[in-house]
Copies of this chain bind each other. A is one copy, B any other.
Amino acid sequence: MAGKIPTSPLAPAAFPDLPVIEGVRFATIEAGVRYKGRRDVMLAELAPGSTVAGVFTRSKTRAAPVLDCQEKIGLDSAGGAAIVVNSGNANAFTGRNGTEATRAVTSATAAALGLDETRVFSSSTGVIGEPLPHDRVTAKLGDLKAALDPAKIEEAARAIMTTDTFPKGAKAEVVMEGGRVKIAGIAKGSGMIAPDMATMLVYIFTDAQIERSVLQDMLGALTDVTFNCITVDSDTSTSDTLLMAATGASGVVVTEESTGFIEALRGVMLDLAHQVVKDGEGATKFVEIHVTGAASDADARTHAMAIANSPLIKTAIAGEDPNWGRVVMAIGKSGADADRDLLTIRFGDVLVAENGWVSPDYREEQGAAVMKRQEIPISVDLGLGGGTATVWTCDLTHGYISINADYRS
């Protein structure tokens, strides 16, 4: 089905040249879970001593692999670990069968790689409500193990795609006191197709040495300012999963005070988050919404998300219409504090509205020129306090309707 959807006009020119992370090996294979003629299972093996942290969907109807990961993620272990992911079937809302299928995959992977089962994390993405044909995955574990290769991360990024229109990768290198460490991450999301459901899966690897609890706290804090600040259509998957593994192979220790590393990791996470938005269903515009002057950071985020999720604003952007009135509307409805007469609204550098009315110097052509860009910055100052937030989204186009209503499985 993915082939029917043209590549996003916002896609990067090429997949980045990701560095090898010592201590991680990848393999992919065509297991025929649902798709034909493409690789649909990826295995990542993590060397002994690797720590793993994870952040997951807050959905109350979480899929079985997510529940399984959440049980395992807090456990300490000195042994190796693995991540096994299939595309084509989300193993979500599959009742007790879902739990059994997840266990079948993770226990077989553990046996094949000589790992403790609690150290095998799995994800599934694709159609929901259908039983995962787990035997098709487990039948390939021998071949997957034999194919493990430190350089195969791009293939891994491709194997986890569902209706994504491009594979997503990002990297960073940090020079620290103890030496040089590398970060490489891959993601999938968020094309979708009836009756599939968008799922964001992200896997990040580093050769830094990071205690599990430190890695977990770092990942959680950075998720709040990266992946939790993007929205395509306000809908939340049952399966969203972000896993990060630190192999320690570089021997360089990272702590909660390693600001250079944290900043580099934030950059990798933000890059992947932006790529997910740029592959949003039907997206033709990438929109950054920056809110300042709110009564609190939480209020700023509420306003920013109200703007980012407003169908009226997203369709106006699709139509290249500098419709600042709809921004006023979204702020008014968000529920967070606002004073109409203190609002300032900018499209790019163009001052559009201030003091409760359109700016006297504003001309519609100025706003229209900003709207013609592929990347559109919208800034709002509430004039109330010091709260700020930045979120990213895409426009709402006929492409979204076509992908989600017209394409039938």
**Known contacts A59-B329, A331-B61, A356-B93; is-contact A318 B405 (Cβ 8 Å):** yes
- The reply to whether B401 and A358 form a contact with Cβ atoms under 8 Å apart is no
Query: How many copies of the polypeptide does the oligomer hold?
Result: 2
- The reply to whether B60 and A233 form a contact with Cβ atoms under 8 Å apart is no
Instruction: For the complex formed, measure the closest distance between the CB of A81 and the CB atoms of chain B, giving whole angstroms.
Output: 27
Which residues in B have their C-beta under 8 angstroms from that of A324?
Answer: 129
- The reply to whether B319 and A406 form a contact with Cβ atoms under 8 Å apart is yes
Which of A16-24, A30-38, A190-198, A207-215 sits within the interface? A190-198
- The reply to whether B316 and A194 form a contact with Cβ atoms under 8 Å apart is yes
**Known contacts A319-B408, A408-B319; is-contact A329 B235 (Cβ 8 Å):** yes
- Count of chain A residues with a beta carbon within 8 Å of a chain B beta carbon: 68
Contact partner of A325 (CB less than 8 A), chosen from B57, B197, B316, B340, is B197
A321 within 8 A of B: yes
Instruction: For the complex formed, measure the closest distance between the CB of A232 and the CB atoms of chain B, giving whole angstroms.
Output: 9
The residue of chain B having its C-beta at the shortest distance from the C-beta of A324 within the complex is B129
The residue of chain B having its C-beta at the shortest distance from the C-beta of A237 within the complex is B329
- The reply to whether B319 and A357 form a contact with Cβ atoms under 8 Å apart is no
**Known contacts A332-B60, A358-B129; is-contact A315 B195 (Cβ 8 Å):** no
- The reply to whether A60 and B197 form a contact with Cβ atoms under 8 Å apart is no
**Known contacts A235-B310, A398-B398; is-contact A357 B93 (Cβ 8 Å):** yes
- The reply to whether B197 and A326 form a contact with Cβ atoms under 8 Å apart is yes
A353 within 8 A of B: yes
Q: Show 19 A/B contacts (Cβ-Cβ < 8 Å), sorted by A.
A: A61-B328, A92-B325, A92-B328, A93-B325, A97-B357, A129-B324, A129-B325, A129-B357, A194-B323, A197-B329, A233-B311, A234-B311, A235-B326, A235-B333, A238-B329, A315-B400, A319-B408, A396-B405, A398-B401
Q: A57-B332, A59-B333, A95-B357 are in contact. List 16 more A-B contacts (CB 8 A).
A: A62-B340, A95-B355, A129-B357, A194-B316, A194-B321, A233-B311, A235-B330, A236-B332, A237-B329, A238-B329, A312-B404, A316-B404, A318-B405, A319-B408, A321-B405, A401-B401
